[in-house]
Amino acid sequence: MEIRRHALQVLRITEPAAKATAATQLYQEALASQGPLDPSAVLERPQGLPGRPERPRLLSALQVPHRSPFTVEGRAALIHAIAHIEFNAINLGLDAVWRFPGMPEQFYWDWLKVAAEESHHFTLLHAHLQTLGHVYGDFDAHDGLWTMAERTAGDVLARMALVPRTLEARGLDATPPLQAKLGKAGDTRAVEILDVILRDEIGHVHIGNHWYRHLCHERGLDPIALYPDLVARYEAPKLRPPFNLPAREAAGFSEEELAYLRG
């Protein structure tokens, strides 16, 4: 089956572990066969995107309680929250593959790889969550990542600006303090998993930066000047410290952007 159509089928899978497995298999099989891939195909959006289970219950971010990592239940809730982000990130990678026609072939390979790596992250976190006596769906969660995906569904440039290089880049900033808390709570396995996630997420944000600049260049737009306009237009979260500047530099943020954050 053509790769972008197959990605859309995987996106519709509701069971998280099955989706993670299918996304990984799609990437591996696509790499082995090198196609077929049709960048020009305009695919019709089916009902029920993204496929997801009935649980967790989705609330606004303000309604989701904050839990202490210094109890088993609180630590499970925290791992669950990260697993929920990674599950959404699988959906976002697959969505970029099917939704946006007319991009260079490498764009689709990049986001297929992202979906496979996010699947690995989800699988690691879910296995760890089960050692804490819980499964994905046991705690309430919020839908911020997919909400922004919906807002930017009509423009690939906005998607690149506001999902990988904004929302996912916040993960680069949040991970080291989170690792410090979990380490203090004695959860060395969670710290190890977050090492894997941080390494891979630097690559994902780098992919977002690359395609954002590619699209700005193609449209004759200044990526620095355009960004705050997109943040305002799509009501994206504002940047706030602390920033993981070494990780952001590795993820391809320009010296001008890093200087702005330092200031």
Residue 34: predicted pLDDT: 87
Residue 243: predicted pLDDT: 96
Q: Is 197 exposed, middle or buried (0-12, 13-18, 19+ CB in 10 A)?
A: buried
What does each C-alpha distance from 97 to 42, 213, 233 come to in angstroms?
11, 18, 24
Q: Evaluate if pTM is beyond 0.85.
A: yes
Q: What is the pLDDT of residues 51-96, one digit of tens each?
A: 999 999 998 777 777 778 889 999 999 999 999 999 999 999 999 9
Closest CA to 168 of 244, 80, 258: 244
Q: What are phi and psi of 241, to 5 degrees?
A: -70, 170
Domains delineated in the chain:
3-52+69-262 (1.20.1260)
Q: Which regions of the chain are under pLDDT 50? A: none
d(CA 90, CA 69): 25
Q: What are phi and psi of 58, to 5 degrees?
A: -100, 125
